[in-house]
Amino acid sequence: MVDESDLRRGNETANALWGNQASVLVGDFLFSRSFQLMVEDGSLEVLRILSNASAVIAEGEVLQLMNVGDISLTEDKYYEVIGAKTAALFTAACEVGAVVAERPEAEVKALADYGTNLGIAFQLIDDALDYSAEQASLGKTIGDDFREGKVTLPVLLANRKGTPDEQNFWKRVIEQSQTKSDLDTALA
């Protein structure tokens, strides 16, 4: 719902099928149910990891939203966003597995670090595919990030390495307005 996409992993999104209200209510139910399951596990450490991850992910989404349309976004700030919104999820998933398996602290940390790096790599690839993949194989609408004015690494690099005319293009389409042909230009 946040990115208003109609496709995810090749399927219509819940909000495309049933509307926003039903999607929010089902999302709230799943969120609540996940916390019930965490409490049933009985591990305060698991609950701590997952509740912290939930807060960090929400914070990352807000940070990304605050930076929409800001072509002056730095790479450091971009990495902060993807570290929070994507890597935090992967980190928690890997860390919880080690905690549940009662592995030594060094292994818990190693798996958490692995999850962080995997999450960052996942988001870097996802952001690049928004400009380079075919919709049928990607399973989501190409150019969604572009249309939303999200400043991702492909945009940062294209802007930084671009000619003055190319930099003016990126500034206009990210900060101001886009024409129908601008996505074609961005994909070229």
d(CA 170, CA 172): 5
pTM for the complete prediction?
0.79
Between residues 90 and 26, the one the model is more confident about: 90
Domains in the chain, start-ordered, CATH in brackets?
Answer: 44-187 (1.10.600.10)
E strands, the chain, in order = 7-8, 11-12
Look at residue 31 in the predicted model and tell me its pLDDT: 76
Spell out the long-range contacts of 123-129 with Cβ–Cβ below 8 A and sequence spacing 24 or more.
123/82, 123/85, 123/86, 123/87, 124/82, 124/153, 126/86, 127/82, 127/152, 127/153, 127/154, 128/153, 128/154
Residue 85 has pLDDT above 70, yes or no: yes
C-alpha closest to that of 18 among 10, 30, 28, 26: 26
Look at residue 29 in the predicted model and tell me its pLDDT: 84
Residue 2 has pLDDT above 60, yes or no: no
